[in-house]
């Protein structure tokens, strides 16, 4: 998840009956064709109702929920591998010459470095925690493990297409990096596309995935205006291919059934100068979604869905 405890965007929860959700999805041009096809052949039941809250409220109560403090200066000189180092296998294929930065959300070790990750960094619009622990399933499968696993699968798929793939972290550093550094790694790599991988921590009954797009922000060190349109294109393509490959429905608790949400409170997006989106692959706190997220077969599909969206974006640009 991408919502540290007390500093989430307080957009009111929105829920729609399933029929309304699908109708709204149909209004999104091009983005969710796969979803419409999926609907036509029949989706497994995922009806839920009742009050929804933004995921942060659950995270605060979870055993591995958000915590707060960290020191960005401490990122220098640690024993981590250089996060921007290019992956070894790349160089031929349709994405030859393209660079994709993959940001596995959080870090499995953040939970042991709360002081560091709770320090504040400047995200342009305000100051925010360096990083968060992320959420977990009720059984304890950590979001940070999920994000690394999907990211590694995604790297393999993109490299098969010839892309150069760089990670912001690969389970090779003691904590973090901070969200501003996560953005900087993509910027410094002059990435053609960047994606931050997450899973959400919303209340049980909230299901499905959503892609988070950068809002137009021009404040302090943040200026997303040059990347808003390209990021929306990237995100819409990923939403469409994710639906088609995984069969998962767009989130029923955010985005009005489009599988898309736009935010201005995420440092990883605010500070990006390259096309970038986040994806919340599902809700770890919902038992049905958790069954998917903990399945290696499903995670491969998730990586495939994301990869196809990125490939489509890079071919179309």
Give 54 or 198: the residue with its C-beta nearer to Zn ion.
Answer: 198
Shortest spacing between CB 32 and Zn ion, in angstroms: 23
Residues whose CB is less than 8 angstroms from the CB of residue 25 and which lie 6 or more positions away in sequence, other chains included: 32, 35, 36, 250, 257, 258, 259
CA distance 248 to 195: 19
Which residues are CB-neighbours of 117 under 8 A, at least 6 positions away? 67, 68, 69, 70, 110, 129, 130, 131, 132, 133, 175, 176, 178
Q: Does 4 bind Zn ion (CB under 5 A)?
A: no
Work out whether 179 is an interface residue with Zn ion (CB under 5 A).
Answer: no
* Residue 278 C-beta: closest distance to Zn ion, Å: 8
Does residue number 2 form part of the binding site for Zn ion (CB under 5 A)? yes
Q: Which of 34, 105, 203, 240 binds Zn ion (CB under 5 A)?
A: 105
The separation between CA 254 and the C-alpha centre of its own chain, rounded to angstroms, equals 14
Other C-beta atoms closer than 10 Å to the C-beta of 237 total 25
First to last CA, the chain: 29
* Integer Cα distance of 252 and 46 in angstroms: 9
Site string (73-102) toward Zn ion, x via CB under 5 A: ------------------------------
Nearest approach in angstroms of CB 128 to Zn ion is 14
Work out which of 55, 65, 134, 267 binds Zn ion, going by CB under 5 A.
134
Q: Which stretch binds Zn ion (CB under 5 A): 44-52, 128-136, 175-183, 233-241?
A: 128-136
Cis before residue 173, ω within 30 degrees of 0? no
Q: Taking CB under 5 A as the rule, which mask of x and - marks residues 269-288 in contact with Zn ion?
A: --------------------
Distance of CA 148 to the CA centre of its chain: 12
Stretch that binds Zn ion, among 130-138, 167-175, 223-231, 269-277 (CB under 5 A): 130-138
Residue 98 or residue 198: which is nearer to Zn ion going by CB? 198
- Positions marked catalytic: 280
**Site map for Zn ion, 39-78, x if CB under 5 A?**
----------------------------------------
- State which residue, 1 or 279, has the beta carbon closest to Zn ion: 1
Token pair for 94:
């349709």
Position closest to Zn ion via CB: 198
For residue 1, the minimal CB distance to Zn ion (Å) is 4
State the Cα–Cα distance between residues 237 and 112, nearest whole angstrom.
Answer: 36
Among 184, 198, 210, 276, the residue binding Zn ion under the rule CB under 5 A is: 198
Nearer to Zn ion, 95 or 167 (CB): 167
- When the beta carbons of 159 and 253 are compared against Zn ion, the nearer one is 253
What is the rounded CA–CA span in Å between residue 82 and residue 207? 36
State the Cα–Cα distance between residues 39 and 121, nearest whole angstrom.
Answer: 42
Nearer to Zn ion, 173 or 198 (CB): 198
- In angstroms, the CA 39 to CA 141 distance is 30
SS3 state of residue 164: strand
Please give the structure tokens belonging to residue 84.
């921007």
Comparison of 62 and 224: residue with beta carbon closer to Zn ion: 62
The contact set with Zn ion (CB under 5 A) reads 1-2, 105, 134, 198
């Amino acid at each position: 998840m991408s919502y540290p405890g007390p500093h989430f965007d307080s957009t009111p929860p929105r829920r729609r009956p399933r029929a309304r959700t699908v109708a709204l999805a149909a209004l999104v041009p091009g983005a969710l064709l796969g979803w419409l096809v999926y609907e036509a052949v029949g989706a497994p039941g995922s009806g839920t109702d009742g009050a929804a809250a933004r995921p942060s409220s659950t995270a605060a109560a979870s055993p591995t929920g958000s915590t707060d403090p960290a020191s960005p200066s401490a990122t220098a000189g640690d024993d981590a591998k250089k996060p921007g180092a290019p992956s070894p296998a790349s160089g031929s294929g349709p994405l030859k010459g393209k660079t994709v930065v993959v940001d596995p959300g959080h870090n499995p070790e953040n939970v042991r470095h709360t002081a560091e990750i709770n320090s504040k960094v400047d995200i342009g619009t305000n100051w925010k925690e360096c990083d968060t622990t992320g959420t977990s399933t009720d059984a304890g499968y950590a979001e940070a493990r999920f994000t690394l696993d999907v990211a590694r699968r995604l790297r393999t798929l993109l490299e098969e297409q010839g892309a150069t793939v760089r990670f912001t972290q690969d389970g090779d550093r003691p904590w973090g990096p901070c969200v501003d550094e996560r953005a900087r790694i993509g910027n410094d790599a002059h990435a053609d596309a960047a994606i931050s991988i997450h899973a959400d921590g919303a209340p049980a009954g909230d299901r499905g995935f959503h892609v988070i797009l950068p809002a137009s922000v021009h404040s302090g060190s943040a200026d997303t205006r040059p990347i808003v349109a390209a990021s929306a294109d990237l995100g819409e393509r990923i939403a469409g291919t994710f639906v088609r490959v995984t069969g998962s429905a767009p989130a029923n608790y955010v985005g009005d059934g489009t599988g898309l949400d736009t935010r201005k409170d995420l440092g990883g997006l605010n500070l990006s100068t390259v096309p970038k989106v986040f994806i919340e692959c599902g809700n770890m706190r919902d038992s049905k979604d958790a069954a998917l997220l903990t399945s290696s077969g499903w995670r491969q599909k998730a990586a495939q869905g994301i990869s196809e969206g990125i490939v489509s974006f890079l071919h179309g640009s």
